[in-house]
Structure 1
Amino acid sequence: MIQLFLSIFLSSIFWQQEPVMAWNANVRLEWSDFKASPQQRAEVIAVTASGLSFGYSTTRYPNGRIDYEFDVTAHFYPEKSWFMKDLVTNITLSHERLHFDITELHARKFRKRVKTARFSSNIDAEIDVIYNQINKELRAMQKQYDTETSHSRLVEKQEEWNRQIQEELKKMEAYR
C-alpha cells in the first residue's frame, strides 16, 4: 500500500503563487532582489523575508515498514523584502544576506534531524514536531542576530556573526 502525503509549510508567510528564490551558495542576494515597497514607519531600514518549505512522501508496507523521501528548501521572498535606498550600505546588504544564510543553516538542521530520526507509524506528526522545533530555533536565532548586531550597526559583531554562520554552514555541508 502506498500512501502519498505532501505538505508544504512556510515560515511565517502564507502560501501564495509569488516569486521565490531558493538559497544557492553561488548566488548572493543583491538589492535588486528586494522588490517590496519600503515601510516608511518601520524601525529598520531593510527586511529580508525568508523561510523554509518542505515536502515529503511516505510509502507504507503491510509489515509496518515506512519509507520516506524528504525535501526542504530555504526560500527568499522578493515581493515581501524591502530596503530604504537612501539609508542602506554594503554592510546592511551583508546583514540581510546573512538572514538568508541563517535560514539555509536551519534547512540543513532540519534535513539532519529528519535523516537521523527514528520514525514510528506516526511519521506525519513527528515531522511536524521537528519542523516546529526548527522554526522556533530559526526565529530565535534571527532575533538574536538582529539584537546582537543592532541590525548591522555594530560592525564588529556583524563580522563575528558572518564568520560564525559560515563556519556552521560548512559543518553542516553534508546536509546541503
Structure 2
Amino acid sequence: MPFPPISGGEPLLRWFQGISEISGTMPGRLLPLFCLFVSGLITPVEGTAPKAVETRYSFYERLPVFTGVGTPVSGGKEVVKVIFQEETRAEDPASDTLFYHQRRTTAADYRGQPRAPGRNEAVSFTSFGFEGGSHHFRDTLEITLVLQVFWVKSASWTRTMPPNARTLDHEQLHFDITRLAAEHFRRKVLDMPLTADDHDSRIQYEYLEYFREMNRLQDAFDEESAHGTNPAAEEAWKIRIRRELRELSVADPPVKN
C-alpha cells in the first residue's frame, strides 16, 4: 500500500527502498517485514483518526547476532530451533527512530510538521517488525530473530509545541499498545511448531495477524477514549495495557531525565 505523503517524511521513505535486493543477496536471511500504524489524538470537537497504513522496509544497519534458549521443534529429519530476542541497541539521539526499550516518548520526538488544515491535535507513527536470519548446524536449522518496536520521529507531530501531558500520555499509550501486540507475536512464534520448509511463510503470516490485532486494539482504544477526550476511559486502558505488559515481563521504558 503506498505511503501517504507527509511533511518531512523523505528520510522515512528512503528506508522503504531495496527490500528485495537486501533479502535476495544475503543467503539464509529472512525477509524483513515491517508495517506502520498511524495514531491520532483528536481535539474534543473534531473528526476521526486516520486509518492504519501498511508498507514494508528494512533498516540498513547491521544487526547484532543474539544467542539464547529456543525450543527445538521436529520438522521431518531436521530440527527447527527459534531464538527470538528483543532489540537492545542504545539510543542514537540523531536517529529518526526511537525504539520502545530506549525510553518513553517526549516532546522532542515530535519532529514532523502538522498537516494544515487538520482535525488532529497530534499524530504518532509507531510500528513493530522483525528481522533475522538462519543457519544450519548438523541436523538443526537455527532461526535467530530480532523484534523491533519503534516510533518514527519525522512522521510524528503535534500542533501545540511542547505538547501537554494529556497528549504525551495518549500517544505513549498507543506506543504501549504496539509493544503489547509485538510481544504477543513474539510469543506465538516461539510456541508454534515450525518446519524447515514452511518456517518463513508461517512466521510472516503470524506477523500480519498480530499487526491486525494491533490495529484492532488501537482503534478500540481511540473509540472508547473518544480520542483522548474521555479521561476515565483512557485511564482504564492505561491500567489494562500496562498490567498486561507487566504480566508478560515487558519492562516499562525508562523516563528521560
> Could you state the TM-score of these two structures normalised by the residue count of structure 2?
0.61
Give the direction of change, closer, same or farther, for the CA distance of 1:6–1:73 in structure 2 (3 Å limit): same
5+ residue gaps, structure 2: 1-26, 36-53, 60-94, 253-257
Greater Rg over alpha carbons, structure: 2
| Matched residue SS, 1:37 | coil
Partners of 2:211 and 2:122 lie apart in 1 by 22
Match of 1:56 in 2: 132
| Matched residue SS, 1:71 | strand
- Does the CA contact (< 8 Å) of 1:21 and 1:76 recur in 2? yes
Partners of 2:133 and 2:178 lie apart in 1 by 23
Partners of 1:80 and 1:86 lie apart in 2 by 15
Aligned pairs (5 A) from 1:154-173 = 154-173=230-249
Match of 1:97 in 2: 172
| Matched residue SS, 2:120 | coil
Aligned pairs (5 A) from 1:24-39 = 24=101, 27-39=103-115
Question: Identical aligned pairs, as a percentage?
Answer: 22
- Does the CA contact (< 8 Å) of 2:107 and 2:162 recur in 1? no
Partners of 1:13 and 1:169 lie apart in 2 by 26
Higher strand share goes to which structure?
2
Q: What is the CA deviation profile of residues 76-106 of structure 1, one whole-angstrom value per residue up to 9, with x for unaligned ones?
A: 0001101110795311210000111111111
| Matched residue SS, 1:49 | strand
Q: Out of 146, 152, 174, which is 1:77 matched to?
A: 152
Task: Give the root-mean-square deviation of aligned CA atoms.
Answer: 2.4
Aligned pairs (5 A) from 1:98-117 = 98-117=173-192
- Does the CA contact (< 8 Å) of 1:47 and 1:83 recur in 2? yes
Partners of 2:134 and 2:161 lie apart in 1 by 50
Partners of 2:56 and 2:201 lie apart in 1 by 20
- Does the CA contact (< 8 Å) of 2:245 and 2:251 recur in 1? no
Give the direction of change, closer, same or farther, for the CA distance of 1:118–1:175 in structure 2 (3 Å limit): farther
Q: Figure out how many residues of one structure are paired with residues of the other and give that number.
A: 172
- Does the CA contact (< 8 Å) of 2:107 and 2:163 recur in 1? no
